[in-house]
Amino acid sequence: MHPELKTKLGSLHTRNPILTASGCYGYGEEYSDVADAVHLGGIVTKSISPVRWYGNSPPRLAETGTGLINSIGLANVGADSFKTEIAPRLKSVNTKIIVSIAGKTIDDYELVVQKLEDANNIDGYELNISCPNVKEGGMAFSQNPSITEKLVKRVRKLTKRWIAAKLTPNVTKISEGALAAEAGGADAVSLINTLVGMAVDYRSRSPKIATITGGYSGPPVKPIALAKVWEVYNAVKIPIIGIGGITTWQDVLEFMIVGASAVQIGTALFTDPQLPEKINKRLIQYLEEEEIGAICEIIGTLRTDRPYNLGVPG
Amino acid sequence: MKFIDNARVIRNHKIRQDIHSMWLESPLICQNSSPGQFVHLRVNNSFSPLLRRPLSIGRVHGNELELVWRIVGKGTEILAEAKEGESVDLLGPLGKPYSISEHLETAILVAGGLGLPPLTYLYEKLIAAGVKTQLLLGVLNENSIPLSDKDPLFGSILITSEEGELFRRGLVTEPVIDSLQNLENNGGIGKTSLYSCGPWGLIKALKKIVPHMKLLSAEVSLEQQMGCGIGICQGCAVPTEDDNDPFQLVCKDGPVFPLNEVRIPDAS
């Protein structure tokens, strides 16, 4: 009997627990030459705003250690172009398509949903209320639980489609935001978005990206993301999508053990667009070896009664 | 069409000081690439360094391609250690190549330092197509020439050097002006294209010279810190001269751009 990788995020069922994080897989088709979407549980698109956004001034990227600071500023084609030019083609992309939505105001989020409601090939929305790189809206929504609840509630009224709220880690208690999203009617929460970070060139005494600070992602953020998922898992009943620094199959298991029902891979896709396929193969192998029938069985199975002492680092 | 190919290292050697050259076997990329395009490569199988490194495709001979780079950090240092027979993960060919008009009779190729490799590829292609082609290289001194003096191509390049006495002393823009003026005087300028790759200082100088000449076309190749390499992350944006469309992506809209569309960043 082949172990089962299927997972459920409320009403959204995916063939495996690996989705692509917003901003890291384009609008869905771009990687089709080199990676087949059939290996993905789902794709979360680049965030879509009501009109085209051009993004922030360059430079927009700084690799720092084994992490990445970005300040793209949500450059995207806008809801109308997405609907007429891109969405129809997504029929050929064989996985669930979650459209990420961004806005400067709550009205913006409503506007995008209204524009996309009758577009085909969309399986749900992820509300990006946590981008650290825009002046208006963005992360500020997710930093205020009452706004989070209001925003989710207003979008909820406009659609029967699945909705997730993507939360910022740049707060004292992320579970307050998660509870607010749940109260607003979200089907799931995605966490974490990037951490506010900075890279400086000491020679020129200048910041390495034009907006001075940006969003920090990549393998170094994983321990923070795990802690945030664990905190939220102990607070809400809706499913959690864990995000932050995933590069291996073991990382996926760790996120699921602390309470994620699925994960998103982000920055690592730039380096290896075939990573989800490779990870899924290893997950199957692991489940077979451990005689676990379905990956869902490991969700939230952290054994707090028994810390595992690895001894000295290998 | 782009590919991910584990290309076998045929040869990897130091050209001088911190400049290295590697020949890799990749039929997929060689058969589908054109001069000006690049590969986005993984220096190892880990995520440290985190991102791929973009490198221009240098000369292509059959199923083998050349990459040339300067060691500037951990990634390029690891790449310099790759042994013959090992494989390097290449994503490519990526980006827009130099455009070659059917009316092209004369080509002036202007490289600044490490901008030479894509122009060596273009040079060999144009020469094979019967185009009168001049390859000019400007360097700071002999240690920054990204080609071995034993290389068969070395003698075909007109080198200008800001320091030392071994080469024509001065800036590469001086012979560029001479060549363009000759072409203008003999009526060939309208069937001449200028192709360049080099630092902002060179592009800035070309932007002052070229608008006064009635060239067939003038194109430059840019570089920028890059994430995905295929237009997804929007990380490698550069400013344009068009206020209605303020940014272009080096990876997808470039790396080759018409010279008149390129805007020099304020800090340069």
> What beta strand segments (E) does chain A contain?
7-9, 12-14, 18-20, 42-44, 61-64, 67-70, 96-101, 124-128, 162-166, 188-191, 195-198, 200-201, 206-207, 213-217, 240-243, 262-265
Q: Would the CA dihedral through A125, A129, A133, A135 be positive or negative? A: positive
Task: Closest CB to B52: pick one of A30, A55, A270.
Answer: A270
* Chain segment B69-111, per-residue pLDDT in tens: 999 999 999 999 999 999 999 999 999 999 999 999 999 999 9
Average pLDDT, chain B: 95
pLDDT, residue B212, reads: 79
Q: Pick from A36, A61, A40, A174: which is nearest to B4 by CA?
A: A36
> What beta strand segments (E) does B71-215 contain?
87-94, 106-112, 132-139, 157-161, 168-169, 192-197
Gyration radius from chain B CA atoms: 18
Q: Are B29 and B64 in contact (CB under 8 A)?
A: no
Strand partners, A98: A44, A124
Q: Pick from B131, B143, B139, B65: which is nearest to B101 by CA?
A: B131
* Chain segment A159-206, per-residue pLDDT in tens: 999 999 999 999 999 999 999 999 999 999 999 999 999 999 999 999
Contacting residues of A for B266, CB less than 8 Å apart: none
Interface of A with B in 45-74 (CB under 8 A): 46, 54-55, 57-63, 66-68, 70, 72
B264 burial via Cβ count (<10 Å: 0-12, 13-18, 19+): middle
Question: What mean pLDDT do residues B16-44 have?
Answer: 97
A252 burial via Cβ count (<10 Å: 0-12, 13-18, 19+): buried
> Read out DSSP for B91-114?
EEEESBPPP--TT--EEEEEEEGG
Residue B93 to residue B30: CA distance in whole angstroms: 8
* Chain segment A26-80, per-residue pLDDT in tens: 999 999 999 999 999 999 999 999 999 999 999 999 999 899 999 999 999 999 9
Q: Are B68 and B21 in contact (CB under 8 A)?
A: yes
pLDDT, residue A308, reads: 73
| Domains along chain A with CATH numbers | 7-56+73-195+216-298 (3.20.20.70)
* Chain segment B182-203, per-residue pLDDT in tens: 999 998 999 999 999 999 999 9
Contacting residues of A for B250, CB less than 8 Å apart: none
B79 burial via Cβ count (<10 Å: 0-12, 13-18, 19+): buried
Task: Closest CB to A33: pick one of B2, B225, B227.
Answer: B2
Contacting residues of B for A30, CB less than 8 Å apart: 230-232
* Chain segment A253-294, per-residue pLDDT in tens: 999 999 999 999 999 999 999 999 999 999 999 999 999 999
Q: Are A243 and A21 in contact (CB under 8 A)?
A: yes
Asked whether the beta carbons of residue B235 and residue A72 sit closer than 8 angstroms, the reply is yes
pLDDT, residue A314, reads: 66
Question: What pLDDT band is residue B267 in, cutting at 50, 70 and 90?
Answer: low
Query: Secondary structure of chain B: what % helix, strand, coil (to 5)?
Result: 25, 35, 40
Question: What mean pLDDT do residues B11-23 have?
Answer: 95
pLDDT, residue A307, reads: 73
> Backbone dihedral region of B12: left (phi > 0), alpha (psi from -120 to 50 degrees) or beta?
beta
Contacting residues of B for A47, CB less than 8 Å apart: none
Residue A78 to residue A80: CA distance in whole angstroms: 6
Q: Is the pLDDT of residue B243 over 90?
A: no
A131 is catalytic: yes
Q: Are A90 and A119 in contact (CB under 8 A)?
A: no
User: Could you tell me how many helices (H) and strands (E) chain B has, helices first?
Assistant: 5, 16
Closest chain A CA to residue B245? A54
> Backbone dihedral region of A138: left (phi > 0), alpha (psi from -120 to 50 degrees) or beta?
left
Q: Which residues of chain B have a Cβ shorter than 8 Å from any chain A Cβ?
A: 1-4, 42, 47-52, 91, 224-239, 245-247, 265
Residue A294 to residue A28: CA distance in whole angstroms: 27
Contacting residues of A for B238, CB less than 8 Å apart: 58
Q: Is A272 on the interface with B (CB under 8 A)?
A: yes
pTM of the model: 0.95
Residue A99 to residue A160: CA distance in whole angstroms: 14
Asked whether the beta carbons of residue B228 and residue A247 sit closer than 8 angstroms, the reply is no
> How many C-beta atoms lie closer than 10 Å to residue A291's C-beta?
8
Instruction: Tell me if residue A100 falls in helix, strand or coil.
Output: strand
Q: Pick from A34, A12, A163: which is nearest to A95 by CA?
A: A12
Q: Is the pLDDT of residue B120 over 80?
A: yes
For tokens 């060596």, name the residue. Answer: B120
Contacting residues of B for A75, CB less than 8 Å apart: 234, 237, 247
Average pLDDT, chain A: 95
Residue B128 to residue B82: CA distance in whole angstroms: 32
Residue B180 to residue A156: CA distance in whole angstroms: 65
Q: Is A197 on the interface with B (CB under 8 A)?
A: no
End-to-end CA, chain B? 35
Q: Pick from B57, B91, B40, B97: which is nearest to A33 by CA?
A: B91
Question: What pLDDT band is residue A306 in, cutting at 50, 70 and 90?
Answer: confident
How many angstroms separate the CA of residue A60 from the nearest CA in chain B? 5
Gyration radius from chain A CA atoms: 19
pLDDT, residue A194, reads: 97
Question: What pLDDT band is residue B68 in, cutting at 50, 70 and 90?
Answer: very high
Question: What mean pLDDT do residues B4-32 have?
Answer: 97
Annotated catalytic residue, options A131, A179, A252, A299: A131
Residue B165 to residue B142: CA distance in whole angstroms: 9
A281 Cβ contact partners less than 8 Å away, ≥ 6 residues apart: none
Strand partners, A198: A213
Closest chain A CA to residue B3? A34
Q: Is the pLDDT of residue A131 over 90?
A: no
The tokens of B210 are what? 């070229």
Asked whether the beta carbons of residue B230 and residue A31 sit closer than 8 angstroms, the reply is yes
Question: What pLDDT band is residue B166 in, cutting at 50, 70 and 90?
Answer: confident
Question: What pLDDT band is residue B268 in, cutting at 50, 70 and 90?
Answer: low
pLDDT, residue B112, reads: 97
Residue B256 one-letter amino acid: V
pLDDT, residue A65, reads: 87
Residue B134 to residue B193: CA distance in whole angstroms: 11
A-B interface: how many C-beta pairs under 8 angstroms?
95
Mutate to test the interface with A, among B232, B236, B248, B253 (most CBs of A within 10 A): B232
Question: What mean pLDDT do residues B1-14 have?
Answer: 96
Asked whether the beta carbons of residue A63 and residue B47 sit closer than 8 angstroms, the reply is no
